[in-house]
Amino acid sequence: MNISQVAKLAGVSPATVSRYLNDGYVSAEKKAAIKKVIEETGYSPLASAQSLRQRKNKVIGVIVPKISSESISRIVDGISAGLRDSGYHIFLGNTNNSVGAELDYLELFQHNFVDGVILIATELTPKHKRFMKHYRKPVVVLGQYTDLVSCVYHDDEGGAQAAVSHLLDQGCQRIGFLGVFAADEAAGTARHIGYRRALESHGIQEDPDLFVEVDFSITDGYRGAQDLLNAGKPFDGLFCATDNIAIGAMNCLRFNGFTIPGDVRVAGVGDSMVSKAIIPSLTSIHYYYKTSGIEAAGIMLDVLERGQVVNKQLRLGYELCERESTY
């Protein structure tokens, strides 16, 4: 599908379609006809060479969920490194984990000064997907899988399965899980699936009473562990969806008189700097966050500088970092 074909289906000239795609003047009637064809055919202006010849501002919009997060800072560091010799700069939009703010930034960047958008996503809602399907600038999603645009994501299921299998191999029989909301398909759904599959591979059925949904903070990890203890079902292992959650849980366990790893072995995800510094040090899954940022920047430059219209899904691996909390 190209501009000429869109124009033919809409009953207008290719020049009119070009003006529409570049926010030029088009009558309301013709605008409605072009929009209808684009929505029905799924045409993306990124496929148009004309779109790639637009004036460049040398700015990439980067939408982040929480600028204070260590993993996010590592990703942004990678994006900066990937763009360093290209002449491009980044413009950060911090959403504070607000889906609405993410959509607002997508709208802002679509009609303003950036040449492309890198979205570090925590959740891909139907509105996100509609945006990406018809977005007028190149988009790369980081941290979540999608086939609508290029993405760089981590093997969250495999990492979680490795962590829980490690707990089982260390002798744990009943493993609790402090997870996050399922709408976050990476940290929520995929890590839960990995937890479940590790149990099943050892002939253990998941006990829903050993799962507590929490938010991402240390405080929420403390609360989640306390909820598990209050439920009264014993556990000798605890898998946490992030390192912060695990650190809060460990504080709670110690406050309640449990030793780690003597009474409960604990594993997290993220391999944060704090995970190495606390006592006992935390067993954690290392993801290649900086590398993911470098790869996302490379995909963006492939489109903007080399004219490669790509839809690339890149999954990065993980490493299990065994420390004192599990042995």
pLDDT at 52: 44
pLDDT at 55: 63
pLDDT at 53: 47
Count of C-beta atoms within a 10 Å radius of residue 174:
15
Q: For 22-165, where are the E strands, in sequence order?
A: 59-64, 89-94, 116-120, 139-142, 150-154
**Residue that is written with structure tokens 């703010």 in the block:** 101
**Residue that is written with structure tokens 């899988």 in the block:** 145
Query: Where do the structural domains in the chain lie, given as residue ranges?
Result: 3-43, 57-154+289-316, 156-287+321-326
Domains 57-154+289-316 and 156-287+321-326 share a fold: yes
**Radius of gyration of the chain from its Cα atoms, rounded to whole angstroms:** 23
The number of residues in the chain equals 327
Q: What is the largest CA-CA distance in the chain?
A: 76
User: Could you give the 3-state DSSP secondary structure of residue 316?
Assistant: strand
Give average pLDDT by consecutive 10-residue segment, the chain, 327 residues.
84 86 84 89 60 70 93 96 94 93 93 93 91 90 96 98 98 98 95 98 96 96 98 96 98 98 98 96 98 97 85 96 97
pLDDT at 5: 85
Q: Is 87 left (phi over 0), alpha (psi -120 to 50) or beta?
A: left
Q: Taking the CA atoms of 47, 49, 54 and 58 in sequence, report the sign of the dihedral they define.
A: positive
Residue 196, CB-side half-sphere exposure with 13 Å CA sphere: 11
| Amino acid occupying residue 66 | K
Peptide bond into 280 cis (omega under 30): yes
Domain 57-154+289-316 coded CATH 3.30.930.10:
no
Report how far residue 79's alpha carbon sits from residue 141's, in angstroms, rounded to the nearest whole number.
12
Domain 156-287+321-326 coded CATH 3.40.50.300:
no
**Helix axis angle, 14-21 relative to 28-41, nearest 10°?**
80
pLDDT at 46: 56
Report how far residue 190's alpha carbon sits from residue 205's, in angstroms, rounded to the nearest whole number.
18
User: Could you give the 3-state DSSP secondary structure of residue 285?
Assistant: strand
pLDDT at 1: 67
